[in-house]
Amino acid sequence: MSRAYDDLTRAARRAFIEGRLEAAAELFERARLAAGDPVEADRAFCNRCAVLVELEAVGSEVSELKRILLRTTDPKTRWMAAYYTALAYDLQGDRDGALNFSSRALSLAEALGEAETEAATANLLGNLALAASRFEEAEAAYEKALDRYRLLEEEPAVLMRAQVEDNLGYTRICTDRLAEGIALCERSRDTMRRLGANHYLPQPLQDLCYGYLLDGRLDAARTHGEEGLELAFDIDDRLIVKNLLFLLAEVAVREGDRFRAKRFLGELARWYPEIGPSEEIVDLFLSMDLTRVVNLRG
């Protein structure tokens, strides 16, 4: 590894951690140009693509990622190319492509034998399968991810394990195993609170709101939903905001508070101006129970 390549890679990773994504992308590109061999160059390119995914700016780079996957003999670089291709396809809305390359990345991760790499890849496959409502496939992937994360005790791995527990819990809630699913989501919530990871709390709070709602525990559903909604607004997680407005409206309907339900649904309607007047959406939601047909991760 050349000194310049090493220095630039370290600087790029530091910029990424600090949230300076444009700087990180530029530094990884400079590292690629300073690489001492093709493997270094390919890894720098893959790392740059990871940053571009975060910036939602990946485009023609996908073709080069696939070329790297075909030509390199370095196992870790092959995994990187497959993994970031899956992320890029997901960003571009190609669900089938994302699932295909995430499955390939998982096979490559298993061959590497690195617990953290395999866990992260299995979690990605689970997320993609869950978004496609392929619950059995998602559950198998999440269980594999949990098995690997249990081998790791560092705080980042503990946090990731909590996220996977929530993902698996939501999957079981969706497949009518409410007690198992809620218990997993509660464990995830408690770990995140213990770690002070409030940025990650909205999702388990959303999933607990959903699970408690289906289980008929309306007070608990409302409490977790309201807390999750406040946190989701704070971090500008628009998907969770919309999901929780919908769930809290359904809680209010089941509590017999149609005025409160209309307030939540009116707020939700403002997120979908292309559909039509707010009253039409409110009337639609009040007239039917959609809790069993929605996929909060879809």
pTM for this entry: 0.90
Asked if the model's pLDDT at residue 281 lies above 70, the reply is no
275, 281 Cβ separation under 8 angstroms: yes
CA 69 to chain CA centroid, Å, is 24
pLDDT at 258 over 60: yes
- Model pLDDT, residue 150: 92
What's the pLDDT at 211? 98
Digit-coded pLDDT (tens) for 143-186:
999 999 999 989 889 999 999 999 999 999 999 999 999 999 99
Tens digits of per-residue pLDDT, 26-82? 999 999 999 999 999 999 999 999 999 999 999 899 999 999 999 999 999 999 999
Helix, coil or strand: residue 191:
helix
233 Cβ contact list (under 8 Å, min separation 6): 241
- CA 207 vs. chain centroid, Å, equals 13
Distance separating alpha carbons of residues 203 and 54, to the nearest angstrom: 19
With beta carbons less than 8 A apart as the criterion, state whether 86 and 105 touch: yes
The helix (run of H) or strand (run of E) holding residue 289 is none
Average pLDDT, the chain: 93
Which class does domain 114-200 fall in? mainly alpha
For the segment 209-215, the average pLDDT, to the nearest whole number, is 98
Domain boundaries, the chain: 1-113, 114-200, 210-298
Of 31, 29, 25, the closest CA to residue 6 belongs to 31
Helix (H) or strand (E) holding 11, with range, is helix 3-17
Scan for tokens 């909604």, then name that residue: 229
| Displacement of CA 65 from its chain's centroid (Å) | 22
114-200 has the same fold as 1-113: yes
Are 131 and 298 spatial neighbours (Cβ–Cβ below 8 Å)?
Answer: yes
Q: CA 19 → CA 52, 55, 169, 190, distances in Å?
A: 12, 11, 30, 27
Q: Identify which of 261, 263, 269 has the alpha carbon closest to the alpha carbon of residue 286.
A: 261
Q: Is the pLDDT of residue 277 over 60?
A: no
Q: How far apart are CA 86 and CA 89, in angstroms?
A: 5
- Residue 276: pLDDT above 60? no
> Can you tell me the distance from the alpha carbon of 174 to that of 14, in angstroms, rounded to the nearest whole number?
39
Q: Domain 1-113 is classified in which CATH homologous superfamily?
A: Tetratricopeptide repeat domain (1.25.40.10)
Residue 95 is predicted with a pLDDT of 94
> Rounded distance, CA 157 to CA 141, Å?
17
d(CA 119, CA 130): 16
pLDDT (tens digit per residue) in 223-235:
999 999 999 999 9
Q: Is 279 helix (H, G, I), strand (E, B) or coil?
A: helix
Three-class SS state of 241: helix
Query: What six digits make up the tokens of 249?
Result: 């409206």
- Hey, what are 88's tokens? 């890029």
Reply yes or no on whether the pLDDT at 279 is more than 80: no
pLDDT beyond 80 at 1: no
| 289 and 277 Cβ atoms separated by less than 8 Å | no
* pLDDT surpasses 80 at 132: yes
